[in-house]
Structure 1
Amino acid sequence: PMVLIGTTGGGLPAIYGSVIVAGLAIMLLAPVFGRLLRFFPPLVTGTVILVIGISLLPVAGNWAAGGAGSADFGAPRNIALAAFVLVVVLGVQRFAPAFLSRIAVLVGILVGLAVAVPFGFTDFGGVGDADWAGISTPFHFGAPVFEFSAIVSMLVVALVTMTETTGDLIAVGEMTDRRVEPRSLSDGLRADGLSTVLGGVFNTFPYTAYAQNVGLVGMTRVRSRWVV
């Protein structure tokens, strides 16, 4: 939807205007979603999370192949590096001591980087050209524009992300033996909404809870809010 909004004449100001409205709508609808908690059994929320995860698989596939549009897209060495990192993550998670197994994904990233540098996968030129510090300025691309069609599209997106967040929060609650009540669900959704409003102000896009992070809670068994 954001691509369509941006390419049909509205541009970035229309995108950010619709994002801000969607964030406000999420905050207002959060108590309503909280009262609908009984209509979200595991079958519903699990299916939503599964469908979203499956729809994201092509993204991971493109990254593993070298990034869509890259000159060496699909080259065996790209796929080999991705497979190597995956094997490292699974091996560390399964066989390493508890401390290392809980940071298996981080270990995989570091080992993958250590292999990628000498084999010429990396280019740090952009890092050298970047400033040491940067400041995000509100409405960097201009004042937001509120177009009706753009707002309607983004509200549909907001309903989908609210459903995903609901499933994520319920899943985390089950993992931590903490029952998700309507009030706690509403608070979580309000956090998403407020973040989305701030995202529209600071030139970024809607926020939502990520099922990947739910998977990390289950994988690492680290359930402390202090760690987060």
Structure 2
Amino acid sequence: MLTVLIDYDSGNLHSAEKAFQRMAREVDAGEVIVSSRPEDVARADRVVLPGDGAFPACSAALMQDHAALHAALIEAVEVRGRPFLGICVGMQLMALKGYEYAETPGLGWIDGEVVPIDPGHGLKVPHMGWNDLVIDRPHPVLDGIATGEHAYFVHSFHMEMGDPAQRIAHCNYGTEVTAVVARGNRVGTQFHPEKSQAAGLRLIANFLRWRP
């Protein structure tokens, strides 16, 4: 079994790579690699799309600068039904569109739009640090993760849901902030599971065992 973390020049993947490799060893989930090669994505059994930075830059990097990689991602996830996990901006790219700097199309996998966080109450943006998860509905990737467990967030924008049923967890930061989304064979986390200690490692392990 092969899990591929897609490298499209949108973030340092070292910590994510180490966390996924660790949990793959623990649950006997095969090999984990970081790759920018479309042929690796094409043969992957699971695909992970990380992302750090601004939505338009990450969108352009994936869909324009790495067009062959984008095509391989669509083939793997939409056509072949491979389990997919988006992390941080990788999750945001699952949305219909984003509004950071300019309206920018996303992958269109989740019925939501990426908008600025407006927490009020004197809270600062970006939303940075630890926050408690609130589980909205059960899902295999959340097995063993309960409301009140901590996750590590770093972001100024979040996904405002068009279909609330596709949000499976959130956190409270003056307002409800989407934390985890899911639809079919695709899930996404706004927080960084590789930096979220026990809860994050459990989510990674769940994803590596998930058979949607």
Higher percent of residues as strand: 2
TM over 0.5: no
Higher relative contact order (CA 8 A, sep 6+): 1
TM-score band by shorter chain is under 0.3
**TM-score, with normalisation over the residues of structure 1?**
0.21
**TM-score, with normalisation over the residues of structure 2?**
0.22
